[in-house]
Every structure is written in C-alpha cells, then in structure tokens.
Amino acid sequence: MSLSSILTRDTINIHLKGSDKRAVINELVEIFAAAGKLNDKAAALSAVWERENKMSTGMKHGVAIPHGKTGAVNDLVACIGISDGPVEFEALDGEPCRIFIMTLSPLEKTGPHLQFLAEISLLFKSAEKRALLLKADSPEEVIRILSE
C-alpha cells in the first residue's frame, strides 16, 4: 500500500484555506465528502477529533497526520492538503504545519491503517520531498512527487 496508489486528483487540495487546526481538519474531511469517500461525514469528523483530543497528530518538519478509525468508510482512504501559510497544530517540534495527510480507516481493519501511518512518517522525513510538495502547483504534481 502506498500513498500514491490511494490518492487521486480529487483527494488533493494544494491550497487549504483554514488558518487553524479546526478549520484544516474540517476542510480535509470535506475533501473526502466531495470525493464521495464517506458514508457519514459527521462520524468521520468525530473520529478524527476523538483521536486528535488524545494527542495532537502534528508531527515534525511542518507535517501533520490527522487520522481516525470510523464506520464512515468501508476501506482506508487518504487525502492530502497543503496550506499556503503555516497553521498552528500543536506539533511535536512546536513548529506550525503546512502539509496535512488525513487518513480514515474502518474500525475493524487495523493492519492497513498502521502500515499506512508508518509509511507516511518515513516518507516525510525527506526534506527534499517536503520542499517539492510545498512548491507543487497541481494535484498531479503531488502524486508524481510522492511516487518517486
């Protein structure tokens, strides 16, 4: 399973408008809803906030990985959003975030969820990939960068 195999043009937004954590999470869930990936938008949002309230999913190097397990999806889904400006996300390194990868997976399927989160965290240790993503000017370019 790879990020580039799960992402599609309609699950990537390279110009998130939200200026705080709540707005960004709402925007990311809205990406799934607009792409027809959810059977219950409210349940999806609730699952992400339940996880976020336990501990922030803001990682390091400007990357956040909000995620949740929910009955609102039948299979693991992912989306990526890139913010034009920094967003305070209570990241581990105290720095604001600009790259957001949200994933939702069904309650009963743990393996793919954990595998996906591990793959994402390894991928974004690359300063070069992060820099390229921040400069991407299309969803197709994001997919190309993640595929390399």
Is-contact 6 78, C-beta < 8 A?
Answer: yes
Helix (H, G, I), strand (E, B) or coil at 66: coil
Give domain 3-140's CATH superfamily.
Mannitol-specific EII; Chain A (3.40.930.10)
- pTM score, whole prediction: 0.92
Q: What is the pLDDT along the chain (148 residues), one digit of tens a residue?
A: 566 678 899 999 999 999 999 999 999 999 999 999 999 999 999 999 999 999 999 999 999 999 999 999 998 999 999 999 999 999 999 999 999 999 999 988 767 767 777 777 766 788 999 999 999 999 999 999 888 8
pLDDT of residue 55: 93
Provide the pLDDT for residue 2. 65
Judge whether 117 and 101 are in contact, CB under 8 Å.
no
- Residues 131 and 141: their CA atoms lie apart, in Å, by 13
**Of the candidates 86, 77, 65, 83, the residue with the CA atom closest to the CA atom of residue 10:** 77
Domain boundaries, the chain: 3-140
